[in-house]
Amino acid sequence: MEVALLGFAAVLLLAFLRLPIAFAMGIVGAVGFAALNGWRWKASLSPAAGTVLDTLQTESLSVIPLFILMGMLVGRAGLASELYRASNAFLGHRKGGLSMATIVACGGFSAICGSSLATAATMSKVAMPEMRRFGYADRLATASIAAGGTLGILIPPSVILIIYGIMTEQSIDKLFLAGVIPGVIGVLFYLAAVQWVVWRTPDAGPAGGRTSWRERGSALAQVWAIIFLFVAILGGIYLGVYTVTEAAGIGAGGALLIAVFRGQLTIRSLAEALIETVKTTAMLFSVLIGAQIFQRFVVRAGMPEDLLAFVTGFDVSPLAVIFLILLVYIVLGCVFESLSMLLLTVPVFAPLVAQLGLFPDYAGAQAAEVSLIWFGIIVVVVTEISLITPPVGLNVFVLKGVLGDVSTGTIFKGVTPFWIADLIRLLLLVLAPTLVLLLPLSMKPF
């Protein structure tokens, strides 16, 4: 275990020195294998090379570029503005309604994007001008975009859930379904946070104009494409009509057809979407390969077994262990960006969680599967919190980069009610795991 701890510390040090996390984990993993094999470098590089080949030949990884391409095409089809228009038609006349419309639109865009940063950047261009036109306070306007953007990594299809599923060898289908109800709860809690802000400071979110039911119907009709894609992807997975890989292909093909029919796709925009997809996929694959090398080193060093023995030696309840793990995540989230935090910690904590006996109604491999599906959603919710908490909250810095004239201090001050709402949601999901497991447990077989 000492070697694994030294490796973990080395990765943290290299990350603080701004070495890309993919290289930090890959280098430490390879060096760790050498240490475990008496510094025989040939024996240490062989597992690393095998990891690269195994990762690139993993069929389930094909869903990553397909879902990324779907999000790129949908973004270029102009559906983000249509989503905001539809949400605004139903909510804009309320106090704080434009902020609530932004959150609902972010939730809808997340369902076909899968990226929190892309959701925040896209919605800032769509929603911010409208909120400023009605005199919204910058702290509420920007906070609703930053918080709403975090939904992109939870509401399926989620790239982070795909990576978690591959690292823990869990069903991506079930992880997607497990994220639906917590995602909806997240939207509702963010709406409550907006209500709290405008109750305390009514001038922060003035009411907008009221639209007729005819205009609402017209606006709703414009978002049929997103509803169709979301239902087609998750409905087919839930009913067992097709696998998640096939769903990704259907989603990418459907997004392409929608963009063509809306007249928003040109040869140039298609080429840009494909190039961005390749760049993003290459970055994610590099990070995943580095994480897999580091994960194999940690397992080979015996850290998960030693950690389990250490924890059980204190005779504490499984729930107490979960709360300690969450505390670690919250602290790390203040200094690490979300993907790095997940890749560093999952190899250590996932094997421990699988053996804790969190769900005594299940036994053996089924108990481990249920635990890891639930834990995956919990990890992503904690990761969402890290996206809007200082000093590293990436969504906040994305907004600062897009808007320019709003200080990061203003945005961080505005998001405070939203990450408090996230902490309440996290506690709810920990104490009521049925909210996470209801949909995946209803799949047959489990």
**Number of Cβ atoms within 10 Å of the Cβ of 446:** 14
Query: Hey, what are 42's tokens?
Result: 């040939």
pLDDT at 266: 80
Query: What φ, ψ does residue 155 adopt, rounded to 5°?
Result: -65, 125
6 CB-contact burial (10 Å; exposed 0-12 / middle 13-18 / buried 19+): middle
Distance CA 92, CA 87 (A): 8
The domain limits of the chain are 2-441
Comparing C-alpha atoms, which of 51, 22, 18 is closest to residue 300? 51
What is the per-residue DSSP string for 387-446? TSSTTT-HHHHHHHHHH-SS-HHHHHHHHHHHHHHHHHHHHHHHH-THHHHHHHHTSS--
For the chain, what's the residue count? 446
How far apart CA 287 and CA 20 sit, in angstroms, is 9
- The tens place of each residue's pLDDT in the chain, 446 residues long, gives 677 778 778 877 887 777 777 788 888 887 877 777 766 666 666 666 666 777 666 666 778 888 888 878 877 777 777 787 888 888 878 888 889 998 988 888 777 776 777 777 778 888 888 888 888 888 898 889 888 888 878 888 888 888 898 888 888 889 989 999 999 999 999 999 999 999 998 888 887 777 888 887 887 777 777 777 778 887 888 777 888 888 888 888 888 888 888 777 788 888 888 888 888 888 878 877 887 788 777 777 777 777 767 776 677 788 888 988 888 888 777 666 677 778 878 888 888 898 888 888 877 778 889 999 999 999 999 888 888 877 667 777 777 777 777 788 888 888 899 989 999 999 999 999 999 999 888 875 55
> Which residues make Cβ contacts (< 8 Å) with residue 246, sequence separation at least 6?
236
